[in-house]
Structure 1
């Protein structure tokens, strides 16, 4: 009896040892904006290689970085999607927790769309309009800051529609929120001296219901806009592209959110998208090399790549060659690269 129990115990230990040292399924977390692109690659990876479809979770860029940087064990994600570059403090946490060998890939470009139900006419917004609609405090007639009093858009500018200010947008864990705060809120606050030493840095969003954090699922925001037709929504361009029969995008500073305007940088709320990988997991997680190689292929992210058909704005052929070289060489992300917001040495 004792011998049989020992054998069972040994088998259990062996099984645990194998599971701790290898994994058959890739785990990916991160940005809701990058999620559709990575999910497509994951399905294609299954079809091409026969390996299990990678598990892709939409946790938001910040949430994904937190999970990715939590440690180097196989109980942590192998990749994380990001709708902005990794931050210096996130990289520091990664290094502190033993995640020291990371390779980044730029997936392509994206624009942050300010969208509405298609039943509405075209709307021309500026960064200042958006700032005054959403800031927690705004300059009063006396030049001093006061709690945001605006209830309708035409109170901000008579040329704007007489519609209640309701904006569904990303939560603070989202890379889209980070980008919106930087490129819209902080940028627009430069125009107002009332913010004093916060001028150019102000990004506090009002908490009175005008802005509604709508989670990490951008498709839910699209659904809300079809029901709450007076509202606007903030999300990545790909969701606008996919739902053009239901919603349209407002112009921002006179520029429409189109693929051409985003790739050229003409659209004022454009940004780069990324995916980061743990090189330390490549030997233990089946298919990581093949997955990364497939993702960076011209047929996926190139000018005529399939991801363009679902809303990705591709980088130039020259840029893609540099990214491909960095990915295939397993280029290690350094502190200096993080500071420069690049994945290239």
Structure 2
């Protein structure tokens, strides 16, 4: 009887596994993972696509850029995502991981541009900051206070400690975790931008690139920088509740919540649609998504989704994604990009 139960259980498990595999093989919904910054843009396109085509509305998950890349590059099975959103370009290490796991045919889609903002509640005065001040406030190690060319653990407790002209409020910045493309871009564009204003640290790059990156990209771990997860809406709620705190996220979230929060002026320029579009705002970045071309014939509707996303009505200068805060590509660039996407041009890094 025990043997019969054993074999019956195995049969049920085997049948369950077979059914699970069959369901995966017959998946009829596009799966998208990745950047929390690109998430709202993808969601809007997915909703339009679901209403205007005969295909199901794609499933969009906010996992962070790094987390999304790991899932995307895990393999070509339909139990893996079809598309990965990214708030930075795919890294060479991620590309190599994809190649190693058989994800060799990828199309890169540049959807537009975004600015990274440092924002606070509208109930207090806006901040005027430089990238140097942000580096000194948030870096794990900073130049010694005596002016010598040595590094010390970050001693600054208030913004006034960093610059006597700034408020005497304690440093408290809510921002994305290391898996986020926004965090990567913030480290590169803001922290490194401030770090290299010190000539002796800038010179370090030519001598020891890894040490230079460690100094310029490492964030302090004494609760002055608070990792707030991949949910940017949660950061906005916390800023409203705590007017002394600052938050780091993409311009689109500022644009959609401008009744509650305001962007800090960085290096003399206020974050705005026009300032990001013309490059005068110093903290802007490109946004992408990546398509697993091997899934195009496995999961229905992927080409139609790409056509919807890259259409003038979505990504164009007057497209509905601009209403969500996306800074669009120039018209000629969009035409060329659309041709590359709809022909599934293969990415090489």
TM-score above 0.5, yes or no? yes
Report the Cα distance in structure 2 between the residues aligned to 1:274 and 1:250, rounded to whole angstroms: 25
- State the secondary structure of the residue aligned to 1:202: helix
Residue 5 of structure 2 corresponds to none
Matches within 5 A, 1:1-345: 18-142=22-146, 143=148, 144-193=150-199, 195=201, 196=204, 197=208, 198-199=211-212, 202-335=216-349
Q: 1:191 to 1:13 in 2, by over 3 A?
A: closer
Q: Is residue 130–residue 194 contact of structure 2 (8 Å, CA) maintained in 1?
A: no
Post-superposition CA distance 1:203-247 (Å, at most 9, x none): 111111100000001000000000111010000000000000000
Task: Give ranges in structure 1 of 5+ residues lacking alignment.
Answer: 336-345
Shift of 1:141: 2.7
How far, CA to CA, are the matches of 1:125 and 1:246 in structure 2?
A: 20
Instruction: Work out the CA distance in 1 between the residues paired with 2:270 and 2:239.
Output: 19
Q: CA RMSD in A?
A: 2.0
Q: May I ask how many residue pairs the two structures share in their alignment? A: 329
Instruction: Note the C-alpha offset of 1:22.
Output: 3.0
Q: In structure 2, how many angstroms separate the alpha carbons of the residues matched to 1:9 and 1:105? A: 41
Question: Residues of 1 paired with 2:126 and 2:119: CA distance?
Answer: 10
CA shift in 2, pair 1:158/1:42, >3 Å: same
Q: 2-side partners of 1:87 and 1:10: how far apart?
A: 39
Question: Contact 2:120 / 2:126 at 8 angstroms: preserved in 1?
Answer: no
SS at match of 1:306: coil
CA deviation after TM superposition for structure 1 residue 193, in Å: 4.7
Can you give the 5+ residue segments of structure 2 that lack an aligned partner in the other structure? Answer: 1-7
C-alpha distance 215-13 of structure 1, shift in aligned 2 (>3 A): closer
Aligned-pair CA distance for 1:176 = 0.3
What TM-score do the two structures reach when normalised by structure 1?
0.91
Q: Give secondary structure in 1 for the equivalent of 2:182.
A: helix
TM-score, length of structure 2 as denominator length: 0.90
Contact 1:60 1:173 in 2 (8 A): yes
Hey, what's the Cα distance between the residues in 1 that align with 2:258 and 2:52?
31
